[in-house]
Amino acid sequence: MAEKILIVDDDLDTLRLVGLMLQRQGYQISAATNGQQGLDKAFDESPDLILLDVMMPDMDGYEVTRRLRQNTSTSDTPILMFTAKAQLDDKVVGFEVGVNDYLTKPTHPSELQARVKTLLARSDKKENSALSGGGNGYMVGILSARGGLGTTTLAINLAAGLLTKTKDEVIVAEMLPGQGTLALELGLTASTGLVDLLSISRTNELSSKKVRETLTHHGSGLKILLSSDRPRDMHLVNQVSNYEMLVSQLTGLARFTVLDLGLGIQPFAAKVLPLCNEILIVLEGVPNTIIHTKALIEDIAEMGVNKRMINVVLNNRVRSDTQLPSSQVQTNLDHEIIGTLTPAPELFVQATRLQTPAVLCQPESLMTRQVGKLVDFITEREALPR
């Protein structure tokens, strides 16, 4: 498919001449005559490159660039600023707001073609690096031996804690199709993002741009890959190649990615778990769950995952004398417990009402401090040589 170039310029002659020249080079051309129209087309059409004028009446090219860089879908799109403003200060401002290259009018067609070709080649190289798992983000997988133990709760609150501490990009991804709950809990528009990605028939089409476009933005600043809540979608857990490609792409899109892997050993586990930098297993202090969790740890280790990467979090969801204390659970499990979460039903009711992660509702709560210790553990491990 021909690469698409969006040209944004209020000069109709420039639009026509430059558009025709690039079209003859085999590119697909889209045009906009003002800044707002350019933004709308960029967000709707996902061009491979944007050719942008500076001097436009409603919104100049600098402001257009700022807004493009603030939007996830266009944050990495190459921008070639093509303008009559030739002063050094103008170029400096352009690069400061995020353009990739700066070319002054008038210019020879061959130079423009060369700049366009170079920017597209750089973008392709970056894309191919992502396709091969070239990202260097830190991946945390969360799962449990059985359902209902709080993997999603830990995933969203750990992600929120990482975001609060690092002020950096954090993604949380629901990985079980048909079992999604975050859209409802966080007041987000129902999404089939995960289902759409798993339904792609050719894995080489599952690009980093495609994955980035499926992420939903929450008011907290988290980026979320939402799963559907339709049980009929569960069959997609067998799309192992898509899962492997998806996780490889996610690791290049944020500093931290937290995967909610749900329960047990899913069909994709053998491919996905070894890609994680850390694996957190959630359990409760009940004898049968401890037995199942011990078996889960052994099963994961048999996949070639270093046991040092497998960590356990005790989640006491309800106040009950039947729950074993952390020290006893650790002894029976024969594996270190790195954190304990105590019951906080009122806090979770508040979080649901406010449609936000619990740790953001009450920053000074005991539960927030407990999650904070896990955040410290993850960030300290991330800082170690890999």
Q: What stretches of the chain show up as alpha helix (H) in DSSP?
A: 12-24, 35-45, 61-70, 88-97, 109-131, 151-166, 182-185, 193-198, 208-214, 240-250, 269-272, 287-301, 326-333, 345-354, 358-361, 366-382
> CB–CB of 139/247 below 8 Å?
yes
**Per-residue confidence (pLDDT) for residue 129, from 0 to 100:** 46
Measure the CA–CA gap between 195 and 213, rounded to whole angstroms. 14
What is the band of 181 on the pLDDT scale with cuts at 50, 70, 90? Answer: very high
| Residue 152 three-state SS | helix
Report pTM. 0.67
DSSP 264: S
What residues contact residue 4 under an 8 Å CB cut-off, 6+ apart?
Answer: 27, 28, 29, 30, 45, 46, 47, 48, 49
Q: Measuring CA to CA, how many Å separate 310 from each of 29, 92, 206, 298, 338?
A: 50, 48, 29, 10, 10
Q: Which two tokens mark 124?
A: 């392709």
pLDDT tens digits for range 255-297: 999 999 999 999 999 899 999 999 999 999 999 999 999 999 9
Query: Which among 121-135, 179-193, 218-232 has the top mean pLDDT?
Result: 218-232
**Per-residue confidence (pLDDT) for residue 88, from 0 to 100:** 67
Determine the average pLDDT of the residues in 369-375. 97
Determine the average pLDDT of the residues in 208-224. 90
Determine the average pLDDT of the residues in 75-84. 85
Of the candidate ranges 114-128, 254-268, 349-363, the one whose mean pLDDT is the lowest: 114-128
Percent of the chain with pLDDT over 90: 59
| Residue 159 three-state SS | helix
Place of tokens 């709950």: 181
User: Does the structure show a pLDDT above 90 at 2?
Assistant: no
What residues contact residue 167 under an 8 Å CB cut-off, 6+ apart?
Answer: none
**Per-residue confidence (pLDDT) for residue 127, from 0 to 100:** 53
Q: Which two tokens mark 370?
A: 């407990």
Task: Supply the mean pLDDT for the chain.
Answer: 89
Q: Which two tokens mark 246?
A: 């998806």
Determine the average pLDDT of the residues in 6-20. 90
More confident residue, 141 or 119: 141
More confident residue, 293 or 95: 293
What is the band of 124 on the pLDDT scale with cuts at 50, 70, 90? Answer: low
Percent of the chain with pLDDT over 70: 94
In terms of Cα–Cα distance, which of 150, 50, 133, 116 is closest to 374? 150
User: Does the structure show a pLDDT above 90 at 70?
Assistant: no
Q: Measuring CA to CA, how many Å separate 37 from each of 3, 98, 198, 225?
A: 20, 19, 32, 28
pLDDT tens digits for range 19-32: 999 999 889 999 99
Measure the CA–CA gap between 187 and 111, rounded to whole angstroms. 49
What DSSP string runs through 74-124?
GTT--EEEEES---HHHHHHHHHHT-SEEEESS--HHHHHHHHHHHHHHHH
User: Does the structure show a pLDDT above 90 at 73?
Assistant: no
**Per-residue confidence (pLDDT) for residue 320, from 0 to 100:** 65
**Per-residue confidence (pLDDT) for residue 192, from 0 to 100:** 84
> CB–CB of 177/227 below 8 Å?
yes
**Per-residue confidence (pLDDT) for residue 150, from 0 to 100:** 93
pLDDT tens digits for range 147-176: 999 999 999 999 999 999 999 899 999 999
At 101, which amino acid appears? D
Name the β-bridge partners of 101.
80
- Which residue ranges form the domains of the chain, and what is each CATH number? 4-131 (3.40.50.2300), 138-382 (3.40.50.300)
What is the band of 134 on the pLDDT scale with cuts at 50, 70, 90? Answer: very low
More confident residue, 127 or 39: 39
Of the candidate ranges 47-51, 93-97, 192-196, the one whose mean pLDDT is the lowest: 93-97
**Per-residue confidence (pLDDT) for residue 132, from 0 to 100:** 44
pLDDT tens digits for range 359-368: 999 999 999 9
